[in-house]
Amino acid sequence: MKLVFLDRDGVINQDSDKFIKNADEFILIPGSADAIANLSQAGFKVVICSNQSGLGRGLFTMEDLNAMHEKLHQQVEQAGGSLDVIIFCPHIPDNNCDCRKPKPGMILEICDRFNLEDLSNTVMVGDSIRDLEAISNAGGIPILVKTGNGKKTLAKETLPEGTKIFDNLLSASEYIIEREQKEPQREE
């Protein structure tokens, strides 16, 4: 199974230190809808995997989050693609839950759902060290994009071994698709 994990804020849409709290503030980074469409058209299951502690902090409601995700679905569909799953952690960092990245809980839950045991060819595209560590902790391949907090992450953090770096989600998606086409076909 071809599965790709994408962080949301700073990878797909513009991020804010004050949180993205409603659909009006949810603005896609140019090329991100096309990137998702390209991945889904290439046969990948596309999973958004996002920490959303704004819910736990009371900064926005579930209705607000659903409206943001509906806007995302619409824009991806207009580009000719689809999203398979959006999974998020609503907890604040102090909750010490198993789902908040950098812990791999959300990734492992999705892998269980899709009966995927070997993540060695599964990637996650993110802009923070938390994203990269989450997929690395699950045995997958980290990809850093320089959008959102990506440039800061690149400058300040020690990246997990094997991290690939791209300017944005569109260039990362081109690499992911090309990489898959070069891989020998695996039994599912």
Active site residue 7: yes
- Of the CA atoms within 13 Å of residue 174, those in its CB half-sphere come to 8
* Catalytic residue of the set 9, 15, 34, 131: 9
Q: Which residue has the tokens 């299951």?
A: 45
Task: Check if the beta carbon of residue 109 is closer than 8 Å to that of residue 133.
Answer: no
Which candidate, 115, 170, 122, 118, places its Cα nearest to that of 2?
122
Active site residue 9: yes
Which candidate, 134, 178, 188, places its Cα nearest to that of 160?
134
Which candidate, 167, 107, 170, 165, places its Cα nearest to that of 140?
107
Pure H helices in 79-149 = 105-113, 129-137
Question: What DSSP designation does 82 have?
Answer: -
The tokens for 180 are 């898959």
Query: Which residue type occupies 98?
Result: D
Task: Check if the beta carbon of residue 28 is closer than 8 Å to that of residue 69.
Answer: no
Active site residues: 7, 9
